[in-house]
Structure 1
Amino acid sequence: MLTLDRVTKTFRTGTFSGSTTTAVDRVSFSVDRGEVVTLLGESGSGKSTLGRMILGLTSVSGGSLTLNGEPVRPAKEYYRRVQGVFQDPFSCFNPVFKADRIFALVKDAYHPRVSAADWRARVEGAVRDVRLDPAQVLGKYPHQLSGGQLQRLLIARALLLDGLEILVADEITSMLDASTRIDVLNLLGDLRERGLGVLYITHDLSLGTYLAESTVVLRNGRIAERGATGKVFGNPLHPYTRHLLAAVPRLGVDWVDAEPVESCVFHGAGADGDLYEAEPDHFVACARLPECEGR
């Protein structure tokens, strides 16, 4: 299980002023094997910063990250168990090399003693696992493949790592067409059934609810609401969650501007950043929710 406990990230905002800004503020949740957790929020809410901290691409300023109870130390063995797939698949491939070079890099780093024939068989098996035909994609350059094909090749690369437990999927469907998005999401569902834990980072509410057992709603670097997906979307308690749901376009309904999120006690919990448990497996950032519900 990957556990975030009050994880915080601050950045310096001036060269000489010494000022800082908090991008992620005391965020706590977990992702278990065989579970999909969706991390939702608008651009600038801190979603990708959280993903980068989990993957060791950005340092943690405060709080703790643990994997199966052990502190996270980004290194070769950690990346055998935790991998990421990002928004723009084209940026992950060197255009001067064929796309399947990413598999050779995995072999060199993690499986140097595997024979060429055995490795080829493993690669082809992983490619088939992500619903691609090895004959159609292996040996091709990145520009000869679609974004969806490249995205699935990146997932296949992760599957070649023995002991993979957690996949961080950061906006992996935002550059894909509608039909391909569903294919990729269904693939994540298949991986969940195989015991892989997935943190699916997105700003698209409709896609975020498609597979996830749990949902975390992030606003300005802090959790506004989290819990079982059916409870968060079936009974949204935080005004920001309601604002997000109201902003989703609906067929046959005229577009209207969503109501602004009014300023109220919902906007922050107490000074310690804890969440209020409104019902089992449903938490909201409100210090006075019982009083508000009683009005």
Structure 2
Amino acid sequence: MNRDNVLIDAKHLTKVFGYGLQKTTAVHDVNFQFHEGEIISIVGESGSGKTTLAKMIMGLLGETSGEIEYKGKPRKLRSHKDRKQYWKDIQAIFQDPFSSFNIFHKVDKLLTDCIKLQGLTLSKEQQFEKMKEACSFVNLKFEELYNKYPFELSGGQMQRLMIARIFMLHPKVLIADEPTSMVDACSRSTILDMLLKLRDENNMTIIFITHDVGLAYYVSDTIYIMEKGQFVEGGPAEDVILRPRHRYTRQLISDVPKIHEEWNLA
């Protein structure tokens, strides 16, 4: 991780939904700096605002106030061209893999779209090899999957396919929103190992959005604790989890021995 290389710099981010008496502030005055190659976890219970914040970072939701700088410059998302360029660098894996794919498109179409997004001109044979390599990385056989629809695959296969897309796209930033919540413990460990391997090979920044304190402690360089739309605590993972200062953080990690047991930590 390069602490000197700030990739995403957020200043006073706020997101308000609705108006008047129906107004809800989902994210309030949030500040952070994410660095190249860093693994960050944003931890909070349901309704804390963490998924709204993830969508703001992704560029799927606009901020009510505040700004996000990317690579030292205010990001531009006004035009389709701007958004397409931004999404080359920033990709996401969501909790429900089936909601992320068009159910009417077969696997080969889903992966071919990755090649198109990169603007690559490849022969059919080159495309096949690229898709085969991506599937092999996540322990899937492209020859057995390419002609299938998403609904013909298991949840674990779909999550791996999402990681295969990331392998093909080589983004600078990956937002992983509860990426292991719908798979069993064995698949969870495998998926995390794949993501960490991608980070190591591509110096990719990974932002985990999770309610799972154990996962955050296991994978992260930096942890932010989010409550009611605000960061109430943040810092190096060990400091936040082992020496919590805020009462909400202490509430979340009141069963620290369980964390050690579940993730086989000393």
TM range (shorter): 0.7 to 0.9
- Does residue 102 of structure 2 align to residue 94 of structure 1? yes
- Does residue 162 of structure 2 align to residue 159 of structure 1? no
Q: Secondary structure at the match of 1:121?
A: helix
Residue from 212, 216, 220 that aligns with 2:224: 216
Bigger helix fraction: 2
Question: Structure 2: how far apart are the matches of 1:47 and 1:6?
Answer: 15
Residue from 236, 241, 244 that aligns with 2:244: 236
Does the 8 Å contact 1:93/1:99 carry over to 2?
no
Question: Structure 2: how far apart are the matches of 1:184 and 1:36?
Answer: 15
Q: Tell me which residue corresponds to 1:22.
A: 25
Cα offset for 1:30?
2.4
Question: Structure 2: how far apart are the matches of 1:247 and 1:234?
Answer: 11
Residue from 130, 134, 152 that aligns with 2:142: 134
Cα offset for 1:39?
0.6
- Does residue 15 of structure 2 align to residue 9 of structure 1? yes
The TM-score normalised by the length of structure 2 is 0.86
Q: 1:1-295 counterparts in 2 under 5 A?
A: 1-13=7-19, 17=20, 19-74=22-77, 75-111=83-119, 113-161=121-169, 164-194=171-201, 195-246=203-254, 250=258
Question: Structure 2: how far apart are the matches of 1:4 and 1:184?
Answer: 28
Gaps of 5+ in 1: 252-295
Higher relative contact order (CA 8 A, sep 6+): 2
Q: Secondary structure at the match of 1:57?
A: coil
Question: Structure 2: how far apart are the matches of 1:203 and 1:248?
Answer: 14
Question: Structure 1: how far apart are the matches of 2:151 and 2:232?
Answer: 40
Aligned-residue CA RMSD (Å): 1.9
Write out per-residue CA displacement over residues 127-151 of structure 1, whole angstroms, 9 at most, x where no aligned residue: 2223323233332221222212111
Question: Structure 1: how far apart are the matches of 2:139 and 2:222?
Answer: 26
Aligned length: 247
Gaps of 5+ in 2: 1-6, 78-82, 260-266
Identity %: 37
Q: Secondary structure at the match of 1:32?
A: strand
Does the 8 Å contact 2:163/2:195 carry over to 1?
no
Does the 8 Å contact 2:167/2:198 carry over to 1?
no
